[in-house]
Chains A and B, each alone.
Chain A
């Protein structure tokens, strides 16, 4: 399967780019990433000299799942801590050696036009494929008026993007921060300023843990901590939602989006694409498992595309968007019931505990007087919570009630008509509309 991807006219052999972060920090890493098969890189964010410094204590905090699987990570690392020219020289060499891969340069300089004017020609010389403006970093740089300090003010985004666009020949991607109330405003501002695409998300402002002996947030530097940026599998749901909001926005139809945030497997990538991302960027997964995961990502995506008879990556882009709607348009006449497959049930009783204590008392704990768990159709509101907690996959499923079948909870026959909240009698605005 050909995974060839084209984003803003930038070609790469697959839609998997490494996000701007330690994996793309230097020639040594990027060379090996490309040898492993990555389609592109967004170079670790460059700034003006004198280069910044990082803390000399720990930079990362973590949230682990069972068996120390890394579910979420936060970091207090800043942008590159190497001199600008070294980075530029290396970028040039890399682009020369890997002409078929995407090489994007991430930038973050102070909010003054002169700063941009001075750095952009130097970046142009590297012959890289494009620029990404880091308006997302939520720690350290934001205190200096950069990163998310820009990304949180749509007017600044627009202004800086415009400066950049008028001083470069390259396509410009604006990387957005999720640390805002409504992602559409910064995204619209970026496009207004002339951005060719947006990428999201950068990390989520976070404190991952507090040491209960020292009472310091972690990672702890000499007894003190600060908020960091959260990323990895835990942030994927946030990122998916934000990507879809931009993709659905009537003001931003057909705008290019690079999806970032928690991409760990081919499946995550396919989901981002389906919600409107033109490609994906990966950071934490590579930092957790190394560059080798690219083989799983590419083979998994190809395999799935083959099975779905999808011939190119671009066909996936936005495929799920028509199905993303607002709550008020969901069909209230669609009735489902949980049902338990007794052959698969191992009788742990978790569904009972959750339904009894926190949901709708719709599961009984005995069947013919013996331990056993069964859904009480008269009570089940189909909330799905039992399925969330059942340890056996597919043991509890949701059955769609047929048209004409009686919902035992309401006593009403299931109608095949679509009816949503906007027309529901309990909706005060709908009643008003009817008058």
Chain B
């Protein structure tokens, strides 16, 4: 007999097949042709439009929207891809409410920005679905570039370099490309294998070779790469996570939210994934939200996010928080976990309330405590670098780069989550990868 939401412990198949497929379908399906035209009409074609500078890749938003309104979806997509070759993924995953759409003048005017992200998806989908790749390369210029990592930063860098005539070799430690596009982004934001389809489409440019299961630091060193390539780009993201330890006896009770999400992204049959009846997620960012929401969608009865500071300190945007609470997730702010106990065969997480000391700004644990039932706990308190970092000058645990994306090591550039610049977002990774490619090109031709 299959389980229900109320089945105790951590079990699989809590929901019907239909529920699973509803829960993990496209959260914001693409616009119809008509919806797109009505929405495109709302754009004022602003002068020096503020939405453009709010987009990390600086897409010419008014132009692409005007192209949509004149039924030139392909040209619109080209306007987008010129700046952001992963415009399809970004249209799905960008927290637009804190980027382009926050800056849209209609947000200030009426609280209803032009739906830039969804229009971007409309245009890019149209082109990608018809399998048009709007770029070509004139053939090889004989120069070779090594790219570490096939996440958004590495892909954007590789595509731009390939377009400019370089022969690109990507080294990817996993057996599948895409980085967090493939392993991190919430399932309902990128359905139908979009991440891998997008990569197939991107590789149509030619000149890019991906070497899978090849890890920098293990299989080869930076110095080896520098000898055999004209330049190196590091887009390795963050490979490790911060941990919290809460033990029951000798057993670590806390699971890693990033691993949980990666499993979710790779599974074909959601009913095969076990999930707790009572799930607790610790953290305040996009990962915490995604882990919590997807636990709920997998059939957990109660899901609670525990965040140690005030709600407005959460790095997840208001829209993300609302999305979570609308799915039934409860968010408890100003609390930290202290221990786990087992009473009558049920695990209970003990927590203390916290307060920020006004003078020192330090977080204080208060004497007041409470507990919640917790069959399963996910930790989502940030990603970090592994030992690779040692080679580079670093800051706050990330690689330091200059304005051109160059690291402290000669002929090595870097971008994306692994660098100490910009926000940890897909779109920022794309911008930095693209800009590093241009900088590499500039440096090589000036030699």
| Interfacial residues, chain A to chain B (CB-CB below 8 A) | 66-67, 346-350, 352-353, 365, 371, 391-392
**In the bound complex, what is the Cα–Cα distance between A392 and B105 (angstroms)?**
11
Please indicate the chain A residues that have their CB under 8 angstroms from the CB of B48 in the complex.
349, 365, 371
Please indicate the chain B residues that have their CB under 8 angstroms from the CB of A347 in the complex.
50, 105, 108
Cross-interface CB contact of B38 among A66, A348, A350, A371, cutoff 8 Å: A66
Give the contact stretch, choosing among B8-16, B39-47, B372-380, B396-404. Answer: B39-47
Q: If the complex has contacts A346-B105, A346-B108, are A67 and B47 also in contact, measured as CB distance less than 8 A?
A: no
**In the bound complex, what is the Cα–Cα distance between A349 and B105 (angstroms)?**
10
Which residues 355-388 of B have a CB within 8 angstroms of A?
none
Please indicate the chain B residues that have their CB under 8 angstroms from the CB of A352 in the complex.
47
Which residues 7-57 of B have a CB within 8 angstroms of A?
38, 41-42, 44-50
Whether B44 and A350, one on each chain, are in contact in the complex, defined by CB atoms closer than 8 angstroms, is yes
CB distance from B282 to the nearest CB of A (A): 41
Q: Which residue of A lies closest to B108 (CB)?
A: A346
CB distance from B311 to the nearest CB of A (A): 29
Q: Which residue of B lies closest to A357 (CB)?
A: B47
Q: If the complex has contacts A67-B38, A67-B41, are A353 and B108 also in contact, measured as CB distance less than 8 A?
A: no
A-B contact count (CB 8 A): 34
Q: If the complex has contacts A67-B38, A67-B41, are A392 and B109 also in contact, measured as CB distance less than 8 A?
A: yes
Please indicate the chain A residues that have their CB under 8 angstroms from the CB of B109 in the complex.
346, 391-392
CB distance from B44 to the nearest CB of A (A): 5
Q: Is B106 an interface position by the 8 A CB rule?
A: yes
Please indicate the chain B residues that have their CB under 8 angstroms from the CB of A365 in the complex.
47-48
CB distance from A79 to the nearest CB of B (A): 36
B-side binding surface: helix, strand, loop or mixed?
loop
**In the bound complex, what is the Cα–Cα distance between A353 and B46 (angstroms)?**
8
**In the bound complex, what is the Cα–Cα distance between A350 and B106 (angstroms)?**
13
Cross-interface CB contact of B50 among A371, A391, A392, cutoff 8 Å: A371
CB distance from A351 to the nearest CB of B (A): 8
Please indicate the chain A residues that have their CB under 8 angstroms from the CB of B38 in the complex.
66-67
Whether A350 and B45, one on each chain, are in contact in the complex, defined by CB atoms closer than 8 angstroms, is yes
Whether A349 and B41, one on each chain, are in contact in the complex, defined by CB atoms closer than 8 angstroms, is no
**In the bound complex, what is the Cα–Cα distance between A346 and B110 (angstroms)?**
10
Q: Which residue of B lies closest to A66 (CB)?
A: B41
**In the bound complex, what is the Cα–Cα distance between A298 and B98 (angstroms)?**
48
**In the bound complex, what is the Cα–Cα distance between A67 and B41 (angstroms)?**
8
Whether B108 and A349, one on each chain, are in contact in the complex, defined by CB atoms closer than 8 angstroms, is no
Contact sample, A vs B, 20 pairs, CB 8 Å cutoff? A66-B41, A67-B38, A67-B41, A346-B105, A346-B106, A346-B108, A346-B109, A348-B44, A348-B47, A348-B105, A349-B46, A349-B47, A349-B48, A350-B44, A350-B45, A350-B46, A365-B47, A365-B48, A391-B44, A391-B109
CB distance from A396 to the nearest CB of B (A): 14
Whether A350 and B108, one on each chain, are in contact in the complex, defined by CB atoms closer than 8 angstroms, is no
**In the bound complex, what is the Cα–Cα distance between A391 and B44 (angstroms)?**
8
Please indicate the chain B residues that have their CB under 8 angstroms from the CB of A350 in the complex.
44-47
Shortest Cβ-Cβ A-B pairs, 4 listed: A349-B47, A66-B41, A353-B47, A346-B109
Please indicate the chain A residues that have their CB under 8 angstroms from the CB of B105 in the complex.
346-348
Please indicate the chain A residues that have their CB under 8 angstroms from the CB of B49 in the complex.
348-349
Q: Knowing that A352-B47, A391-B109 touch, tell me 15 more A-B residue pairs with CB under 8 angstroms.
A: A66-B41, A67-B38, A347-B105, A347-B108, A348-B44, A348-B49, A349-B46, A349-B48, A349-B49, A353-B47, A365-B47, A365-B48, A371-B48, A371-B50, A391-B44
**In the bound complex, what is the Cα–Cα distance between A368 and B46 (angstroms)?**
20
CB distance from A84 to the nearest CB of B (A): 44
Max chain A CB contacts within 10 Å: which of B41, B46, B47, B48?
B47
CB distance from B105 to the nearest CB of A (A): 4
Q: Which residue of A lies closest to B45 (CB)?
A: A350
Please indicate the chain A residues that have their CB under 8 angstroms from the CB of B41 in the complex.
66-67
**In the bound complex, what is the Cα–Cα distance between A348 and B49 (angstroms)?**
7
**In the bound complex, what is the Cα–Cα distance between A350 and B38 (angstroms)?**
20
Q: Which residue of A lies closest to B48 (CB)?
A: A349
Q: Which residue of A lies closest to B106 (CB)?
A: A346
Please indicate the chain B residues that have their CB under 8 angstroms from the CB of A67 in the complex.
38, 41
Please indicate the chain A residues that have their CB under 8 angstroms from the CB of B42 in the complex.
66
Q: Which residue of B lies closest to A363 (CB)?
A: B47
**In the bound complex, what is the Cα–Cα distance between A352 and B38 (angstroms)?**
25
Please indicate the chain A residues that have their CB under 8 angstroms from the CB of B106 in the complex.
346
**In the bound complex, what is the Cα–Cα distance between A394 and B174 (angstroms)?**
59
Please indicate the chain A residues that have their CB under 8 angstroms from the CB of B47 in the complex.
348-350, 352-353, 365
**In the bound complex, what is the Cα–Cα distance between A349 and B62 (angstroms)?**
12
Please indicate the chain B residues that have their CB under 8 angstroms from the CB of A353 in the complex.
47
Please indicate the chain B residues that have their CB under 8 angstroms from the CB of A392 in the complex.
109
**In the bound complex, what is the Cα–Cα distance between A352 and B44 (angstroms)?**
13
Please indicate the chain A residues that have their CB under 8 angstroms from the CB of B44 in the complex.
348, 350, 391
Max chain B CB contacts within 10 Å: which of A346, A348, A352?
A348
CB distance from A340 to the nearest CB of B (A): 14
**In the bound complex, what is the Cα–Cα distance between A353 and B49 (angstroms)?**
11
Please indicate the chain B residues that have their CB under 8 angstroms from the CB of A349 in the complex.
46-49
Q: Which residue of A lies closest to B42 (CB)?
A: A66
**In the bound complex, what is the Cα–Cα distance between A94 and B46 (angstroms)?**
55
Q: Which residue of B lies closest to A392 (CB)?
A: B109
Please indicate the chain B residues that have their CB under 8 angstroms from the CB of A391 in the complex.
44, 109
**In the bound complex, what is the Cα–Cα distance between A350 and B105 (angstroms)?**
11
Q: Which residue of A lies closest to B53 (CB)?
A: A371
CB distance from A357 to the nearest CB of B (A): 9
Please indicate the chain B residues that have their CB under 8 angstroms from the CB of A346 in the complex.
105-106, 108-109
